[in-house]
Amino acid sequence: PGAFLSVRDLYVRFGTEDGVVKAVDGLSFDLERGSTLGIVGESGSGKSVTNLAVLGLHDPRHTEIAGEILLDGQELTGAGERTLERLRGNKMAMIFQDPLTALSPYYTVGRQIAEPYRKHTGASRREAHRRAVEMLDKVGIPNPRLRAEDYPHQFSGGMRQRAMIAMALVCNPDLLIADEPTTALDVTVQAQILDLLRDLQQEFGSAIVLITHDLGVVAETADDILVMYAGRAVERGSVREVLREPRHPYTWGLLNSMPSLTSDPDEELTPIPGTPPSLLAPPPGCPFHPRCAHTAEVGGNRCSGERPLLPEGRGAACHLTPEQKRRLRTGGATGL
Ligand code: SF4
Ligand code: MG
């Protein structure tokens, strides 16, 4: 028996006026029920596209998908729109960065939470409304019975995010995909929302894919990390393993460019030089080689000529030897 969510050799390409974008280029990962996978990378690394593919939300006229996405044993890549429609909301749900993309301004918050519940369970209007109020209460909205009658614009940003979480969880989905769920929020509210997600996961036992550019969010929330770069996974492991002993120069760069988790105010942050590559023409070999400071250590033209593979389980896609990695690694998370 495979994992609850199993993605195998996923390729996602889409056509643009300028050519074919290789948004996801051979990605594999597994996720078990009740656990959280943090997918980390800069924008344009393929992390959001991967999850739109899982949800079947890409535009099929312009997108080509190859590989396998198995949710609880069911193949999703070839599934029809009706099947996906039934799965979305019921078995899998999504939380976006901006709740206003998910919430309609024209209906009350309560109605928008009740609607998917009615649709997927066949519950009566009354029952669905009761359920919506219960969900608003669960996500920490005070006076849920009254607030259910409000429109989204009457809610603060943090409360809208809570309402969207209530909407996503109302059918008790087995898989929750959260794409930058706290990026738009201030730090305090961000921490509250992450706490809320953790609590709800305990209660509902959902598997969560948490997509973020912020390693701090992953450290707080996830069990495992997948680091993506240019449409590929470049490192994976448990949160503890990856933050304590990161093995890929790109992960080193991410760690050096974020405030440390122990938040030393005098610490110097070093941004990763250069910019992520165009996915119209990704660099050959290791996609990180144009920005990597360690290609000389590897020697020859190996970094630009030979694609490093990511091993199964804990590991990184990089040609450096374990010995070289130990010696070269600088910075990173401390105090874990
Ligand atoms: Fe850097 Fe080479 Fe490792 Fe890629 S394979 S991360 S270019 S050292
Ligand atoms: Mg994104």
Contact 49, 58 (CB under 8 A): yes
In angstroms, the CA 288 to CA 275 distance is: 10
* pTM of the complete model: 0.89
Whose C-alpha lies nearest to ligand 1, atom 5? 318
Q: Edge-to-edge strands of the sheet including 74-75?
A: 19-31, 5-16, 63-71, 74-75
Determine if ligand 1 sits within 6 Å of the CB of residue 318.
Answer: yes
Instruction: List the residue whose alpha carbon is closest to atom 3 of ligand 1.
Output: 318
Q: Which CATH class is domain 1-91+173-336?
A: alpha beta
Q: Which residues contact 310 (CB under 8 A, 6 or more apart)?
A: 232, 233, 234, 235, 236, 316, 317
Q: What's the pLDDT score for residue 113?
A: 95
Closest-lying ligand 1 atom to the alpha carbon of residue 248: 6
Distance 100 CA to ligand 2 centre (A): 16
In ligand 1, the atom with minimum distance to the C-alpha of 308 is: 5
Whether residue 289 has its Cβ less than 6 Å from ligand 1: yes
C-alpha Rg value of the chain to the nearest Å: 21
pLDDT at 335: 40
Closest-CA residue, ligand 1 atom 2, reads 303
pLDDT (0 to 100) of residue 1: 59
Which pLDDT tens digits describe the chain residue by residue (336 residues)?
Answer: 578 999 999 998 988 899 999 989 888 999 999 999 999 988 777 777 777 777 777 777 888 889 999 999 888 887 888 888 888 877 888 888 777 778 999 999 999 999 999 998 999 999 999 999 999 998 889 999 999 999 999 999 889 989 999 998 898 889 999 888 887 777 788 888 888 888 888 888 899 999 888 888 899 889 999 999 999 999 999 999 999 999 999 999 998 887 765 556 666 778 888 988 989 999 999 999 999 999 999 999 999 999 999 998 999 999 999 999 988 886 444 444
Cβ-based burial of 69 (10 A; exposed 0-12, middle 13-18, buried ≥19): buried
H helical segments located in 56-156: 81-87, 99-102, 109-121, 125-138, 144-147
Answer yes or no: is the C-beta of 292 below 6 A from any ligand 1 atom.
Answer: yes
